[in-house]
Chains A and B, each alone.
Chain A
Amino acid sequence: MTKPRTYQTEAIIIRKIKLGEADRILTLYTPHPGKIRAVAKGVRRPRSKLSGHLELLTHSMVSLARCRNLDTIIGSQTINSFLPIKSNLELTSYALYATELVDQFTADNVENPPLFQLLLETMKRLCQGGDNELVLRYFELHLLNLVGYRPQLQQCVSCKSALESTINSFCPGAGGMLCPNCRQNKLTYSISVNGQKMLRILQSNEYNTVSQLEMNRELSGEIEGVMRNYLKYLLEGEVKSTAWLDTLREQKIASG
């Protein structure tokens, strides 16, 4: 049986590039069939009926028509426009960071409905205004769980012994923690006892439990550093939007 010519799906718009006179190629993240790229015609014209429903960081119901190469978007209706994110400079940057990670860690047309849910929930959590760093760290660790890069935090990846409550180190190349005996001659990052506990809690609990936690600035910085190094190792390059997050943070400190 042939596939129907048109189909409908909910989607979060995670990337856009200009095409021709007034068109765009959008990257949509959907529960089914996963990440797709599609052409949105005429959306750069002011009178476009679709453009507002197809802006970055929007959760929309999208209708598409199958085409030979990229599918074409024929209709779109906003489900959630995440206004609190879009009207706040920092939240926009956090949300863009999350979408960039999803874009980098997924391939076209590979389904992963739990990952779609995670991205959607993360954007809703950013709108609610809690500890945004905590929201992002939770997102990073659970994203890794869902795409197959779950780091081993319970035992030493080399000698398989349970980790003792001392300063152990994280080794991006080995995909997990190393005990002090096994860490020699490897590129590793030491993590404090509290840092290790925090990572384990973030990795293996639901957000409702995690959101009760309080993370001070020092601990937050430590965990962010570890995650950043691991993500950089996995992606074989910097996550582009981290540079912008750093710029904003520096200016925030400079202006008090």
Chain B
Amino acid sequence: MNQNYIPTSNAVSRLVQELNKLPGIGPKSAQRLAYYLLRAPEEQARFLADAILSVTQETKLCSICFNATDTDPCPICRGDQRDRTKVCIVEQPQDILALEHTGIYKGLYHVLHGAISPTEGMGADSIRARELLERLQSSSVSEAILATNPTLEGEQTAMYLSKLISPLGIRITRLARGLPFGTELEYADDVTITQAIEGRQEF
């Protein structure tokens, strides 16, 4: 049997290969998507191709907060309704979406694009910590809200940033940690329960 024989068109196998590189898409999923697109109207394929291209060509990082944006500075950094004395520090741009969805926070953001994870080789230079420090030094911000994830890496990042920021004399706060809505106390772990008891509030 000829080893080089590919039982499908070159274009299809190329698409399968490219889709396979995406996170969470294995060879079978890639095949399924490729054959779906083969049968789909040409318009749909063009829209998808356009959307993929424009995300890399038109999107840039805001030079102030490093959120993904079409315009620099981003709408949040430009907005006159925002509270310019608060900066909320998050790990990834997706975290801003979650916080904005609540509509309760009106301050500014800063995206680190990662968290400190020594065993994966992510140190202080892999997150935008220096940029954050420079930004806080040269602005009228009076409160830095550490909103990194409540994981070991997120906690480590928060502890490191708080050490870095504290000489500036700015108020440093951390998002409250405790029991998430809709869960049961019985299943909570020690760390969460300890923090929930320590951070309990007047009812």
Residue positions of A touching B, CB distance < 8 A: 15, 20-21, 46-47, 49, 51-53, 55-57, 78, 81, 83, 86-89, 92-93, 96-97, 99-100, 103, 240-241, 243-245, 247, 251, 255
Contact = CB atoms under 8 A, between A and B. Distances in A.
Contact of B118 (A46, A243, A251): A243
Nearest to A50: B187
A47 B118 contact: no
Given A21-B24, A55-B151, A243-B123, A49 B118 contact: no
A21 B155 CA distance: 22
Contacts of A241: 118-119
Interface of B: 24, 116, 118-121, 123-124, 151-153, 155-156, 159-160, 163, 167, 180, 182-184, 187-192, 194
Given A81-B191, A83-B194, A240 B118 contact: yes
B182 A47 contact: yes
A15 B163 CA distance: 26
A189 to B, nearest CB: 25
Contacts of B184: 49
Nearest to A60: B189
A39 to B, nearest CB: 14
A110 to B, nearest CB: 20
A21 B94 CA distance: 13
Given A52-B191, A53-B189, A81-B189, A240 B119 contact: yes
B195 to A, nearest CB: 10
Contacts of B156: 89, 92-93
Given A93-B118, A100-B119, A241-B119, A83 B183 contact: no
Nearest to A51: B189
A247 B124 contact: yes
Given A47-B180, A244-B123, A96 B187 contact: no
Contacts of A81: 189-191
